[in-house]
Amino acid sequence: MQIILLERVEKLGTIGDEVEVKNGFARNYLIPQGKALLATDANRARFEAEKAQIEARNEKNRAEAASHGEALDGKVFVLIRQAGENGQLFGSVAARDVAEASTESGTKVERRQVLLNEPIKTIGLHEVQIRLHPEVVISVTMNVARSEDEAERQASGENVIEAALAEQRADQEAQASEMAAVAAEVAAERGPSEED
């Protein structure tokens, strides 16, 4: 189906482009959402007559999204989740969680605007992209931690998982040296063996 785009659509084109799309995509999404018109002679004439208004409306929406984006861009959001010793989350952080955290800060973000290829499944600092407008994409950081204290340590640059593993190794080495000392003590108490 041939359509005329009324706004920039990812992977299709920009305002005024005439593109070929599948019938269902046009009928069920683009046309009802007001993102496109069916490419007929009447609609082409209508688009040309309203082109300035459409472009002005798009520019206004883009400027509004950019101003909201300035408030959000680069922000760090802390999410406290339960996780195992190795940093694996019990569950995951999905686009919905990112949208809720962003909305709580005062800028309304919908789940579909969050560009997250796969859910976050480990603690740590994770960069997430948010598309506020087809032409405005910002980046926020999700600080996923097990506690507020851990979130602060992560924010200061400490690798919490690596620190926990180093602490475990130190404990294991201390236990091993303690067991070796006890074994040497027991061997000394027994004295030389009869075979000697």
Q: Let me know if residue 179 belongs to a domain.
A: no
Per-residue pLDDT at 141: 92
4, 88, 95, 192 from 119: Cα distances, Å: 35, 12, 7, 62
Same domain, 80 and 66: no
Per-residue pLDDT at 176: 82
In which domain, by residue range, is 103 found?
A: 76-158
Tens of pLDDT, residue by residue over 6-60, are 888 888 988 889 999 999 999 999 999 999 999 999 999 988 888 889 889 889 9
Same domain, 106 and 146: yes
Tens of pLDDT, residue by residue over 135-189, are 889 999 999 998 888 888 888 877 777 776 777 777 778 888 888 888 888 878 8
Q: Is the pTM of this model over 0.75?
A: no
Total count of residues recorded for the chain: 196
Same domain, 46 and 106: no
CA-wise closest residue to 93 among 138, 130, 144 = 144
Per-residue pLDDT at 195: 52
CA-wise closest residue to 93 among 109, 111, 73 = 111
Residue 136 sits in a domain whose CATH number is 3.10.430.100
Per-residue pLDDT at 196: 47
